[in-house]
Every structure is written in C-alpha cells, then in structure tokens.
Amino acid sequence: MATESFPRPIRTHRRFSALLAATALGVYVLLIVGATTTITNAGSACSTWPTCHVPTDPLSQTQLVIVWGHRLAAVLVGALVLASVVAAVVGDASRRVGATLLASAGLYAVQVGVGAATATLGPAAITPGLHLGLGVVIFGGVVLALAWDLEITTGEEDDAIELDAGEPEPAATADERTLPSSGLERAKLTGFAYFKMMKPRLMWLLCLVAAAGMALAAGPALDAHTIVATLGGGVLAIGASGTFNHVLERDVDRKMSRTADRPLATDLIPVRNAMVFGGLLTVASLGVFLTINRLAAALGLAAILFYSVVYTLLLKPNTVQNTVIGGFAGALPALIGWAAVTNEIGLPALALAGVIFLWTPAHFYNLALAYKDDYARGGFPMMPVVRGETETRKHIVYYLAGTLVGTVALAWITDLGAIYAAAVAIFGAVFLWTAVVLHFEQTEAAAFRSFHASNAFLGAVLVAVLVDALVLV
C-alpha cells in the first residue's frame, strides 16, 4: 500500500475502481435481497445453515428460492470484498482505502455470523435491525473506499475557481429583437415563453414523486379525483415557483449562457406580467389542492415558498449547501401525494421524501460540473466553483450511496417487492457506473451521462413503486 498523493496513474487504477464499484454494488444488491428475504418472511422456509432442507409445500419453495438467492449472493459478494482487500494490499491503494476495506471485510465476517445465528436461532434471537445495520455500515465502508480511491487517482489538489459576479450584460430588449410580424406568430412565441417559465421539463419526475406518494398511501384503491387534483395542483405549483424563480433571477440569468435567452432575461415578458402569472398559478394550485384537503394545500404552498423564496433568494446565492438544503422543495411532493390520500404525514412518505432529498445533490452536481463556468459567472457558490470538481465528484458518489441506502430503507418500511428490487439494482448500477466513469472522463459529455442516469434511476424507482403498490398487491 502507498501513502496518499495526487494524482496516481489513471490506467493502472481503472480495474481497481471497477472492482470496488462492483463490490459496492454487490453489497447493495445483498441489502436489497436481504430486505426482500425479511419482507417475504422467506427465512422461515430454512432454519439450517449454511444449506437448507427442501420444504414440501409450494409457498415455502418460493421462499426457499429467495433464501438461497440471499445466501449465494452473500458468498459471491464475500468473494468480491476479499478480492478488493487483496487488490488493495498488493496494489498501490492508499493506506486509508486499504484500512477501510479491511475493516469492511472484518465486519463482513461478523455479518456472516449474524446471518447464521438468525437462520438457526430465528430472527427473534437477534437484536432487531442488527443485520441490516451492519450491512449498511459495510456498504458505507466500501463506498468510502471507492470515493477516496477515485479522489486520489483522478483528482486534483485545488481545482476551485473564483466567483465572478460581474455586471449583467445589457439584455436584448423585446424592441431590439426581431419579433415575428404576424400577430398569431407573436402570440405563439409569447404563449410558449409563458409555458417555458413554468419549467415543464421538471414536471414529469416531480409528478412521479407525488404519484408514488399517493400509491404508497392508497394502493389499488387510489381514486381518480385524488390523482387528477394532486397532479394538477402539483403542475400548477411547479409552474408558479418556476415563474417566481425566473423573476427573481432575471439579472443573473443574463450573465449565464444557459439562461441568457429566458423570457424575463430578454424582456420578452414584463416582470409585472410574470408576477401576475405566478400569482394566478399559485391561487389556481391552492384552489385545486383544497378540493382534496387543507394539508395538501399547505404543503403545496410550502413547496412554492421554499423553492421561490428560501432556495432561489436565500440559499442559492449564499451557500454551497444550496442544493442539499434545496432538496427539501423537491422532496415535498412525496408528502403532498401521501397527504392527499391520508390527510396526514406518514413514515413511508417521509422515507420516500428522504430518497428524493438524498438523490437531489447526486442529480444536480453533474449539471453543476457541466455548467461550472456559467455558475461562476452568475456568482453562484455551487460546489464545483467554490470547492472544486474533485470534491464535487466525490460528493456525487456519497449522495448516490446515501440514495441507495434510502431505497433499501423505503423497501423495508413499505414492503416493496421484486420489481422494485430489480429496478433499484439495475438502474442503481447504471447510475453508479456513470458516476465512476465521470471521475476518469472529466468531460461535459460524461457529466450529462451521469445526470441522465440520475433521472433514469429515480424515474425507474418511482415507476417500480407505482407497479408494486398499485398492481402487485
């Protein structure tokens, strides 16, 4: 093992990173299969260890397949953990990485003992949550080793840049721009500009979050009015907060190439009209939410205020943690969906909100990397600007790992089944892979790949929640 220095030869290290990523993923799949074993009470089909007797009734045989799946996966993943330790010791991994892997391997051996005791003595004999808790700690250890190794291998010591809050470029006013001469064309252009202010590209995923919240609460009994009113109110609320965000950021939007053509930055839409539009959308949204219940409306208002005021005005220009804390706004639709059905806030909704909260930095930091110079021009203290790209890439891995643990907790709390387990494992693997590749290919294309993988991951997880909760109950 070697002492730490930046950077190590990248080529020799790709295979070690791939091994660590595969090991982390293996432990994650094991956590998901383990959760499935508990949820389906599959352990009751096998009280011997390490092998099982074949039971006679068909139900127990399905359970037996799950138990065997868990045990075989444990053997394979154990081999991966061992291989990682050996590769760290004989290779040039840093001491910190090697020690963390060694500790994870030690805990893995303890975990095998806990598993054997659970099987032979019964789950009641073991402290509740011990097996899952140890699994999460092992997962955390392997992910830390992966993130640190990637940092040492591919990172740079000090790659933050200066915030450059220069004066805004004078906007091309509506008079100066060539607007279409035909009235109809002008109306179309203006109509489209209002539509764009509502940030429509975000809506599908936020609606899926709210839909998953509803599905977890209601199951197949979910009624059409609740669905239409919740998603309708949600779309209007996103439109309202997006519009206020456009108003409040019109000056900085002019300085950033990604946002310079926004309708308020180019004066296509006057500020007053945008404020009226945002106000009308807010009132309409609250009106629609109120046809369900007051809690849903209050949460909708909280989401609008949080995104427009707390995030846009207070957090975004002032703290590097803007994205992390801002994640509360995106997590609120999970609570709105649940509250629309139950008129209260329940633990499954909080678990779903937790997944969205943890996912948000892993989602946005990719864009922050791709638009780093733009954000610096806008004067925003985004992570890659003030802490550097190396730190940002590491945080993507941390938050991605946190999200994966969140998905296990969600399965645990809500009894989600096989479709969900398959979706989180497959799309989690793709997301983790793109995040690892992002360390080696430090390009905009790699950042966008990881960004799209983040959206595909959350989309797939939420669709799986819908299928599991609405169809397979």
What is the binding site for ligand FPP (CB under 6 A)? 202, 206, 234, 237-238, 241, 245, 249, 303-304, 307, 316, 329-330, 332-333
What is the rounded distance in angstroms from the CA atom of residue 335 to the CA atom of residue 423?
22
In the complex with ligand HEM, the residue whose CB is nearer, 88 or 209, is 209
Amino acid identity of 278? Answer: G
- Helix, strand, coil shares of the chain as percentages rounded to 5? 75, 0, 20
What is the rounded distance in angstroms from the CA atom of residue 248 to the CA atom of residue 271?
9
Quick check: 455 binds ligand HEM (CB under 6 A)?
Answer: yes
The secondary structure of residue 221, as a DSSP letter, is G
Question: CA dist 239 to 60, 133, 152, 218, 286, Å?
Answer: 51, 41, 43, 26, 12
Quick check: 360 binds ligand HEM (CB under 6 A)?
Answer: yes
From 34-42, 169-177, 197-205, 239-247, span contacting ligand HEM (CB under 6 A): 197-205
Torsional class of 307: left (φ above 0), alpha (ψ -120 to 50), beta (otherwise): alpha
Quick check: 364 binds ligand HEM (CB under 6 A)?
Answer: yes
Are 460 and 419 in contact, with CB atoms under 8 Å apart? no
What is the rounded distance in angstroms from the CA atom of residue 30 to the CA atom of residue 107?
14
Phi and psi at residue 50, to the nearest 5° = -85, -15
Quick check: 201 binds ligand HEM (CB under 6 A)?
Answer: yes
Least distance from C-beta 215 to ligand FPP, angstroms?
17
Quick check: 202 binds ligand HEM (CB under 6 A)?
Answer: yes
Quick check: 205 binds ligand HEM (CB under 6 A)?
Answer: yes
Least distance from C-beta 123 to ligand FPP, angstroms?
40
Among ligand HEM, ligand FPP, none, what does residue 304 contact (CB within 5–8 Å per kind)? ligand FPP
At 289, list the tokens: 């939410």
Q: Which of 115, 140, 278, 326 binds ligand HEM (CB under 6 A)?
A: 326
Least distance from C-beta 465 to ligand FPP, angstroms?
18
Quick check: 209 binds ligand HEM (CB under 6 A)?
Answer: yes
Are 424 and 32 in contact, with CB atoms under 8 Å apart? yes
The secondary structure of residue 2, as a DSSP letter, is B
Least distance from C-beta 467 to ligand FPP, angstroms?
23
Least distance from C-beta 455 to ligand HEM, angstroms?
5
- Which helix (H) or strand (E) segment holds residue 162: the answer is none
Quick check: 285 binds ligand HEM (CB under 6 A)?
Answer: no
In the complex with ligand HEM, the residue whose CB is nearer, 49 or 448, is 448
At 386, list the tokens: 């003030």
User: With contacts defined by CB under 6 A, how many residues of the chain interact with ligand HEM?
Assistant: 15
Among ligand FPP, ligand HEM, none, what does residue 327 contact (CB within 5–8 Å per kind)? ligand HEM
Least distance from C-beta 371 to ligand HEM, angstroms?
7
Question: CA dist 441 to 71, 317, 433, 434, 436, Å?
Answer: 36, 29, 12, 10, 9
Least distance from C-beta 273 to ligand FPP, angstroms?
19
In sequence order, what are the beta bridge partners of 94? 2
Q: Which of 140, 327, 337, 354 binds ligand HEM (CB under 6 A)?
A: 327
In the complex with ligand HEM, the residue whose CB is nearer, 104 or 245, is 245
Among ligand HEM, ligand FPP, none, what does residue 238 contact (CB within 5–8 Å per kind)? ligand FPP
Phi and psi at residue 2, to the nearest 5° = -115, 160
Binding residues among 91-130 for ligand HEM as defined by CB under 6 A: none
What is the rounded distance in angstroms from the CA atom of residue 437 to the CA atom of residue 431?
10
What is the rounded distance in angstroms from the CA atom of residue 238 to the CA atom of residue 65?
45
Quick check: 321 binds ligand HEM (CB under 6 A)?
Answer: no
Q: Which of 237, 240, 296, 356 binds ligand HEM (CB under 6 A)?
A: 356
Residues that bind ligand HEM (CB under 6 A): 201-202, 205-206, 209, 323, 326-327, 330, 356, 360, 363-364, 367, 455
